[in-house]
Amino acid sequence: MPEKDVILHVEDLKMHFPIKRGVIQRTVGYVHAVDGITFDIYRGETLGLVGESGCGKTTAGRTILQLYKPTAGQIVFEGKDLVKLKNEEMRQIRRKIQMIFQDPYASLNPRMTVEEIISEPLLVHNIENGKEIHDHVRSLLELVGLNPAYVDRYPHEFSGGQRQRIGVARSLALKPDLIVCDEPISALDVSIQAQVVNLLEDLQKEFGLTYLFIAHDLSMVRHISTRVIVMYLGVFVEMADRKTLYENPMHPYSIALLSAVPIPDPKVEEKRKRIILEGDVPSPINPPSGCRFRTRCPLAQAICAEERPEWKEVEPGHYVACHFWYNTKSLQRR
Amino acid sequence: MKKTDFVENTGVEVLAEDGCKKRPPKDNPWKNSRLIIGTIILGILIIIAFVGQLFWDKTLVNVGSSPLNLPPVGNEYRDQIGNWAHPLGTDNSGRDILALVLVGLPHSLGIGFVSATIGLTIGIIFGFSAGYLGGRVDDVIRLLSDTTMNIPALLILIIIQSLIPNAGFFAMALLLAVFAWQSPTRVLRAQVLSMKHADYVKLAQLSGSPDQEIMFKEMMPNLMPFLISQLTAGTSYSVLILVGVEVLGLGSQKIPSLGITLNNAINASAILRGMWWWWGIPTIILIVVFMCLLLITVGLDEVSNPRLRDH
């Protein structure tokens, strides 16, 4: 990447949800959904965020957008810490950060027409008048590959892929800089997934958008991302640019995760080594001490239970959180 | 959904030949037989009452305006034969039953409807605040509605009515509304609570929509069937309590109503004397009204909850 212009900086972000029990709703514990993550997103890139279900990917995305009030940490966008902003200031910032949701069936209000859905952000921010909005909605529909004649239809008259296109059109309405894509394709058929991903890529080229692309589909993330972060149980375990991460992963979890991706070549598939992780993901209510991954890590030693591994830059732009990062080559498939 | 009309793979979809906005008619949930039957019968009753008031002499509700103890047309009671001057007969003080019904039915229904509307309005405000804002607001509203819900309305109203025996139309409606807001509050709170986590509500928040806009533009249209069914259920509940209070003889004696007529019939031993039309006609009308309100409520529940629909 030639010029690294940081669009969003996240510093030690934590999101703990209280668990309440009993008549007086006493707090008996916390779900450590996101437990101290630090990263930058550069303008114009696609940052992939992968991890298995329940690892806190979605919570991380939603916390960045202030849908949840974070427990601790900073989210710096355009020099402002979003956590500290007042409602009105936050409302202005919302024009520049938008989100695409996972489930296109739940994210569109069933009682609103396509025009009402797409024009809502425009009306809320009061930036265009009636005629302009009408034309803008039509051009947005065209942009995402839908017939503008559909403006008066309701969401239930569309298929999943078309609904997701409507969601994309809505998120583009305010001309945002950053779009958080929360598993935008995992609810769609495989044939439609590629279409939506290609649409997102085309729009990125056209408008210089920046994406935070949350997904669990490793091949899709490899296809779309500039850099990739691997997340496990509320923390980041590895971050690198796409090529490095997929060809030379260093964290045992990343290695195990990538070894599970099937390779469409029977000869390679036969020879390669797959790492089967034992056990389940521990509960985020009571995460393991030290390294979160130690309960399932083939390389775990005593130190892993005692000390939380440092988030270390082992190569330029390649971060790993593992005590034995230099020793993980043995696990790799080649 | 007409999936066949779209070509998904070309990227740019073509418009269906028959144009937009046509949906198969059988999918329309509002074509619910219970809802339709209930609405039609109740509508007919209300129209008869209002049109009847124009053509029938309303002063016949007064004591002594008609012959005493006259049976309905075609019946004989103690040497008196029913005639068309008083088609539904008269009571023992010379009040015309038809006039009583024509004046009494809209009166009872009206009080019930107004009190249910007041209750629903309070319910919308409280239910939305509790569900959407949560926290302390929710705690207070929930405590208030849960405790007052368990106080028997009839008991309290008997006490209040004995203190103010001649409460007028709106005073009565207000009194009944005190017991009509808890149910809508609870139902709406529960609905809002689950809808608050819907992605489209999150999406509206992300666009920076203010809270009141999210509540009334995003959520309210989705709750419309719930609101109407709460209104009919509330009307039915209020009318039931109203009639109960009146039958006990605690209603206002100034305006004739179905409950007061029943109370008079009981006091005059109409059942023992065989004057079936006196107590029977108001009872049948009340049963039909309650049945209609129930049918409408059940029908609306089916509209808003697809799982209740039978196919």
B136 vs A: CB within 8 A: no
B272 lies in some domain: yes
Residue A167 · residue A140 · CB < 8 Å: no
Contact at CB, A94 and B199, closer than 8 angstroms: no
Q: Supply angle C-alpha A103, A104, A110, rounded to 5.
A: 115
Q: What is the pLDDT of residue B154?
A: 86
Nearest to B199 among A106, A149, A153 (CB): A106
Give tens-digit pLDDT for B180-209.
999 999 999 999 998 988 889 988 888 888
**Residue B5 pLDDT exceeds 50:** no
Given its phi and psi angles, is residue A175 left (phi above 0), alpha (psi -120 to 50 degrees) or beta?
left
Q: Name the strand (E) or helix (H) holding B81.
A: strand B80-81
**pLDDT of amino acid A1:** 45
| Mutate: best of A62, A102, A147, partner B, most B CBs <10 A | A147
- Characterize the bridge pairing of strands B80-81 and B76-77: antiparallel
Provide the pLDDT for residue B183. 92
The end-to-end CA distance of chain B, in Å, is 17
Please give the full DSSP string across A199-242, using - where no structure is assigned. Answer: HHHHHHHHHT-EEEEEES-HHHHHHH-SEEEEEETTEEEEEEEH
pLDDT over 50 at B159, yes or no: yes
Residue B90 carries which DSSP code?
B
Judged by CB atoms closer than 8 Å, whether chains meet at B20 and A91 is answered as no
Predicted confidence (pLDDT) per residue in A72-122, tens digit: 999 999 888 999 888 888 888 888 999 999 888 888 988 888 999 999 999
Arithmetic mean of pLDDT, A290-303? 88
> Which among A107, A124, A146 has CB closest to B200?
A107
Tell me the two tokens of residue A90.
Answer: 């936050």
Is position B292 within any domain?
A: yes
Question: Which of A124, A127, A151, A203 is the best mutation test for B, with the most CBs of B within 10 A?
Answer: A124
Interface of A with B in 118-157 (CB under 8 A): 120-121, 124-125, 145-147, 149-150, 152-153, 156-157
Mean pLDDT of A237-247: 92
For residue A110, the distance in angstroms to the closest alpha carbon of chain B comes to: 8
Residue A153 with chain B: CB contacts under 8 Å:
20-21
Comparing B1 with B86, the larger pLDDT belongs to B86
Shortest alpha-carbon distance between residue A49 and chain B (Å): 20
Exposed e or buried b per residue across A101-113, where buried means at least 16 C-beta atoms within 10 angstroms of its C-beta: bbbbbbbbbebbb
B25/B208: higher pLDDT: B208
Number of residues in chain B: 311
Pairing of strands A210-215, A46-50: parallel
The total number of structural domains in chain B stands at 1
Mean per-residue pLDDT over chain A, rounded: 88
Determine contact, residues A47/A91, Cβ cutoff 8 Å. no
Q: Are A109 and A155 in contact (CB under 8 A)?
A: yes
- B37 to chain A, closest Cα gap in Å: 26
Burial code (b: 16+ CB inside 10 Å, e: under 16) for A144-174 equals: bbbbbebbebbbebbbbbbbbbbbbbbbbbb
Token output for A199: 């649409």
Q: Give the confidence band of B306 by pLDDT, cuts at 50, 70, 90.
A: low
Amino acid B62 reads N
B151 found inside a domain? yes
Residue B25: pLDDT band (50, 70, 90) is very low
Say if residue A60's pLDDT is above 70.
yes
Residue B281 lies in a domain: yes
Any idea which residue has 């009515």 for tokens? B161
State the DSSP H helix or E strand holding residue B216, giving kind and residue range, or none if neither.
none
Q: Which ranges of A144-217 does DSSP label H, i.e. alpha helix?
A: 160-172, 190-207
Whether domain A6-106+180-190+209-331 has CATH 3.40.50.12280: the reply is no
H helices present in chain B, as ranges: 33-55, 97-128, 135-149, 153-163, 169-177, 182-195, 199-206, 211-213, 224-247, 258-267, 276-304
**Angstroms from A263 CA to nearest CA on chain B:** 26
Per-residue pLDDT tens over the stretch B111-149: 999 999 999 999 999 999 999 988 899 999 999 999 998
Nearest CA-CA distance, residue B221 and chain A, Å? 7
pLDDT at B310: 59
B1/A156 CB distance under 8 A: yes
Alpha carbon of B155: minimum distance to chain A alpha carbons (Å): 30
The CA distance from A92 to the nearest CA of chain B, in Å, is: 8
Q: What is the nearest CA distance from A67 to chain B, expressed in angstroms?
A: 7
Q: In this predicted model, what pLDDT tens digit does every residue of A131-167 receive, in sequence order?
A: 889 999 999 999 999 999 988 888 888 988 899 999 9
Do β-strands A72-77 and A178-182 pair in parallel, antiparallel, or remain unpaired? unpaired
Contact A177, A97 (CB under 8 A): yes
Write out the two tokens for A249: 């992963």
Residue A106: list chain B partners with CB under 8 A. 198-200
B310 touches chain A (CB under 8 A): no
Whether B254 is in a domain gets the answer yes
> What gap in Å lies between CA B242 and CA B257, rounded to an integer?
10
Find the closest chain B residue to A95 by CA distance.
B207
Instruction: Extract the runs of DSSP E, i.e. beta strands, from chain A.
Output: 6-21, 26-42, 46-50, 72-77, 80-81, 97-100, 178-182, 210-215, 227-232, 235-241, 312-315, 318-320
Asked if the structure places residue B5 within a domain, the reply is no
Separation between Cα atoms, residue A49 and residue A215, nearest integer Å: 6
Query: Which B residues in the span 218-247 are in contact with A, Cβ-Cβ below 8 Å?
Result: 218, 221-222
Question: Looking at beta carbons, which residues of chain B come within 8 Å of A121?
Answer: 207-208
The three-class DSSP label of residue A37 is strand
Which residues constitute the domain of residue B261? Answer: 33-51+94-305
Q: Count of CB contacts below 8 A, A vs B?
A: 91
- Measured in degrees and rounded to the nearest 5, phi and psi for residue A76 equal -105, 120
Tell me if B46 is assigned to some domain: yes
CB A213 within 8 A of CB A47: yes
* Candidate from A98, A102, A147 with C-beta closest to B15: A147
Of B2, B204, B208, the CB nearest to A125: B208
Q: For residues B123 and B117, give the distance between their C-alpha atoms in angstroms, rounded to a whole number.
A: 9
> Is B72 inside a domain boundary?
no
Please list every residue in chain A whose beta carbon sits closer than 8 Å to the beta carbon of residue B23. 157
Instruction: Please name the helix (run of DSSP H) or strand (run of DSSP E) that holds residue A325, with its range, or none.
Output: none
Inter-residue contact A161 to A213 (CB < 8 Å)? no
The enclosing domain of B140 has a CATH number of 1.10.3720.10
Q: Are B208 and A65 in contact (CB < 8 Å)?
A: no
Buried b or exposed e, range B3-34, using 16+ CB within 10 angstroms = eeebeeeeeebeeeeeeeeeeeeeeeeeebeb
Type of residue numbered B74: G
